[in-house]
Amino acid sequence: MPAISVTWVLPDGNSRTADVQEGHNLMEAAVSNGIAGISGDCGGALACATCHVAVLEGSESAKTCGEMEDDMLDMVDGERSETSRLSCQLIASSDLDGIVLRIP
């Protein structure tokens, strides 16, 4: 499987970039790369919102959330933004290559 490049901007302003295999979701990728602030408590079941990110750079589809995700995002701890997503719902594909995510 090819990999894409994903960058996380951490709350302290530092950033981390990692290669993520296509087909993996970006919550799992954050957890396996030890990205602070993403815990993915529900394992990607759209039930916890501990995988909240804001898309700083990425395609329109990457910035647009689904309806159930939208409801969960209303309950997030950090401030919700226009491009907030639950990163367990972002699946690595060539469309997301070079995506930049901010941890709220």
The closest of 35, 44, 20 to 94, measured between CA atoms, is 20
Is residue 40 within the footprint of ligand FES (CB under 6 A)?
Answer: yes
Pinpoint the alpha helices (H) of 12-85.
Answer: 26-32, 60-63, 67-73
Is residue 56 within the footprint of ligand FES (CB under 6 A)?
Answer: no
The site map against ligand FES for 14-33 (x = CB under 6 A) is -------------x------
Do 74 and 52 touch, CB atoms closer than 8 A?
Answer: no
Side chain identity at residue 84, one-letter code? S
Q: Which of 42, 56, 76, 91 binds ligand FES (CB under 6 A)?
A: 42
Side chain identity at residue 49, one-letter code? A
Is residue 75 within the footprint of ligand FES (CB under 6 A)?
Answer: no
Strand partners, 59: none
Nearer to ligand FES, 40 or 58 (CB): 40
Residues that bind ligand FES (CB under 6 A): 27, 40-42, 44, 46-51, 86, 88
